[in-house]
Amino acid sequence: MVRHIGLKLRMVIMGSILFAFYAAIAGLAYLYFGATTGALGIVLLGTLAFVGFQYKFGKWAALRSVGAEDMPEEGRYQEIHQHVDQLSRDMGIDKPRLMVADMGVPNAFAVGRKGAGVVVVSTEIIDLLDRDELKGVLAHELAHISNRDVVMMLIGQSIAAMVGIVVQFAVIFGGERNIGSYIFAMIAGSIAQMIVSIFVMAISRYREYVADSDAAEYTNNPDAMARALEKISQGAKQRQQASQSLNQRGGRGRQQQDNGMPDEVAALCIFGGDRGILQTIFATHPPIEKRIEKLRAR
C-alpha cells in the first residue's frame, strides 16, 4: 500500500509546476544565446548544474548556519542514538548522521535524502523535552527524510532562486541599462521568486502534518508529540520576546525568522514561528494549534 498519497500527489504537482518554470527558463536562455544544438546542451547542463549546486550548498549552508557538530554516541546523547537506531529500522531507512547545535532556541531539522540524511537537534530542545517528547521530535525529522520531502523543499527553493535571477537578468539586458532598470529588475526578480515560492511553501505546510502523523504512528504516542510542540512553541515565544526586548534597547543581530532561526534553515525546522494573517500564504509551517489539535484527535 502506498503511504501518504496526498503528499506524493502534491509533490508530483509541485514538481511539474517547478519543471515548467525550469523549462521556461531554459527555453528563454536557449533563444537568447542562439537556437543551436550546442547552445541547448549548454543551457540544459548549466541549469541542471545550478540546481545541483544549490541543493548541495543548501544542505551545507543549513548545517553551517547553526554551527552543527557531530553528536557523540556516548554520555547524554546515547539514548538519542538508540531512539534513532530503532526508528530508522521501523521506517526502513538508513540511520542518518546525527548532529547537535546550540541554536539558542528549542528546535530540530533534517536535511538530505535517504541514505545521506542528517538530523540536527538543538541542545535547548534536549534540555527542554522529556524522553517520550524528544523521541517524537526525532521520529518527525526522520519522517521528513523517509518521505523525501526535504529534497523537494531544497530543489524547490533552488528553482525559485533561479527564476528570480533569470528574471532580473532578462529585465536588465532587455532594456536600457540605468539605475531605474536595475531597480525594476530587482523588484521583478523578487516577485517572480515569490510566485514560485508560494507553491513550495504550500508543500512545506502540508508535509509538517504528515511528519507529525508519522511521528505519532511510529512512537505510538501522539500526546507526547503534541506536548513537545507546545513546549517548543513556548520556548520560541520566549526567545522572540527576548529578541524584541533587545531590539528595543538598540541591539542587532543577523536576520532571523520568528522562531529565532536564520532564514536559510527556518523552513526545515520542526517549528516555524507564528505568522500574521497576511503572511499565512508564505508560512513554511501550519499553525501550531492546528498541529496539536490533529495529534490529540487521533
In a domain, 175, yes or no: yes
Q: What is the pLDDT of residue 266?
A: 64
In a domain, 250, yes or no: yes
Q: How far apart are CA 49 and CA 239, in angstroms?
A: 39
Under the banding of pLDDT at 50, 70 and 90, the label for residue 243 is low
Q: Pull the grid cell for residue 237.
A: 515565544
Which range has the worst mean pLDDT, 63-67, 148-152, 195-199, 266-270? 266-270
In a domain, 120, yes or no: no
Q: What is the pLDDT of residue 252?
A: 47
In a domain, 232, yes or no: yes
Helix, strand, coil % (nearest 5) of the chain? 70, 5, 25
- The pLDDT tens digits of the residues spanning 107-120 come to 999 998 888 899 99
Mean residue pLDDT across the chain? 80
- The pLDDT tens digits of the residues spanning 147-165 come to 988 887 777 777 788 788 8
In a domain, 218, yes or no: yes
Q: How far apart are CA 145 and CA 110, in angstroms?
A: 7
The more confidently predicted of residues 8 and 98 is 98
The more confidently predicted of residues 240 and 35 is 240
The more confidently predicted of residues 106 and 266 is 106
- The pLDDT tens digits of the residues spanning 28-63 come to 666 665 555 565 566 667 666 766 776 777 788 889
Across 13-39, average pLDDT = 66
Q: Pull the grid cell for residue 239.
A: 526567545
141 is a catalytic site residue: yes
The more confidently predicted of residues 279 and 252 is 279
Q: How many domains does the chain have?
A: 1
The more confidently predicted of residues 176 and 245 is 176
- The pLDDT tens digits of the residues spanning 216-226 come to 999 999 999 99
Q: Which of 141, 217, 230, 289 is catalytic?
A: 141
> What 8-state DSSP symbol labels residue 97?
E
pTM: 0.79
Cα 169 vs. chain centroid, distance in angstroms?
Answer: 27
In a domain, 186, yes or no: yes
Domain residue limits at 173: 5-65+148-296
Q: What is the pLDDT of residue 180?
A: 81
What letter represents residue 119's amino acid? V
CB 14: neighbour CB atoms within 10 A? 20
Q: Pull the grid cell for residue 48.
A: 541542471
Under the banding of pLDDT at 50, 70 and 90, the label for residue 137 is very high
C-beta separation of 124 from 107 below 8 A: yes
In a domain, 260, yes or no: yes
**Distance (Å) of CA 71 to CA 66, 76, 77:** 14, 10, 7
Q: What is the pLDDT of residue 94?
A: 95
In a domain, 196, yes or no: yes
